[in-house]
């Protein structure tokens, strides 16, 4: 009897492992373009902001990946999709000096974290490689993924910043977006 219970348990565990590691090979999306907005993190969830000035402690960027479903994809069946044109590199820069080690135009990727489900992830780890996109549908029928990038290291002085995100995919597609100007206060 113990052998039968162990056999059933082994089958259940192996099925669970297979289900959790299975890729959505037939459910693919392509990144079409990116958009970048300012984000205010003073509340429970980061919200898009039109403020001219925000505390650096509550600042973030909201990155929207505009997505196109491939012909094989079925939106009604599954909202999580593998990204076909996977991301190879991500660069976040500012139009102003950020601190003594990061002058205008230098990569600030390590100064930001992805915030999702009350957890923080490194930007590079979250967006690169084989990953599953969390696809949302707009009222007009277009698709997107929203990613919250929260500032984790503060600038050393108050400056106006325009942040630019540049994404390069594995097949050398380049996507770039720049945020509106924001005064980060300390």
Residue 72's CATH number: 2.60.40
The reply to whether 15 falls in a domain is no
- The pTM score is 0.79
Boundaries of domain holding 36: 25-185
The reply to whether 71 falls in a domain is yes
pLDDT of residue 137: 87
Half-sphere exposure of 166 (CA within 13 A, CB side): 9
SS3 140: coil
Half-sphere exposure of 112 (CA within 13 A, CB side): 30
pLDDT of residue 21: 39
Which portions of the chain are predicted below pLDDT 50? Answer: 6-8, 10-26
The reply to whether 45 falls in a domain is yes
The reply to whether 32 falls in a domain is yes
Give the count of domains, the chain: 1
User: Per residue in 29-69, pLDDT tens?
Assistant: 889 999 999 999 998 889 999 999 999 999 999 999 999 88
Q: What backbone torsions phi and psi does residue 85 show, to the nearest 5 degrees?
A: -95, 80
Residue 55 CB coordination number (10 Å): 15
SS3 111: helix
Residue 152 CB coordination number (10 Å): 13
The reply to whether 109 falls in a domain is yes
pLDDT of residue 65: 93
pLDDT of residue 161: 97
């Amino acid at each position: 009897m113990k052998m039968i219970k162990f056999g059933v348990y082994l089958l259940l565990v192996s099925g669970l492992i297979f289900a959790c590691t299975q890729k959505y090979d037939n459910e693919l999306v392509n990144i079409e373009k990116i958009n970048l907005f300012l984000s205010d993190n003073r509340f429970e969830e980061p919200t898009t902001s039109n403020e001219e000035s925000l505390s650096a402690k509550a600042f973030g960027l909201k990155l929207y990946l505009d997505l196109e479903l491939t012909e094989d994809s079925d939106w009604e069946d599954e909202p999580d999709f593998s990204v076909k044109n996977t991301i190879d590199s991500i660069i976040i820069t500012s139009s102003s000096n950020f601190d003594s080690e990061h002058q205008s135009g230098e990569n600030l990727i390590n100064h930001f974290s992805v915030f999702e489900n009350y957890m923080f992830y490194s930007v590079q780890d979250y967006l690169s490689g084989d990953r599953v996109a969390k696809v949302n549908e707009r009222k007009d029928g277009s698709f997107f993924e929203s990613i919250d990038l929260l500032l984790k290291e503060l600038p050393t002085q108050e400056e106006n910043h325009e942040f630019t995100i540049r994404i390069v995919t594995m097949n050398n597609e380049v996507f770039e977006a720049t945020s509106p100007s924001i005064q980060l206060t300390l």
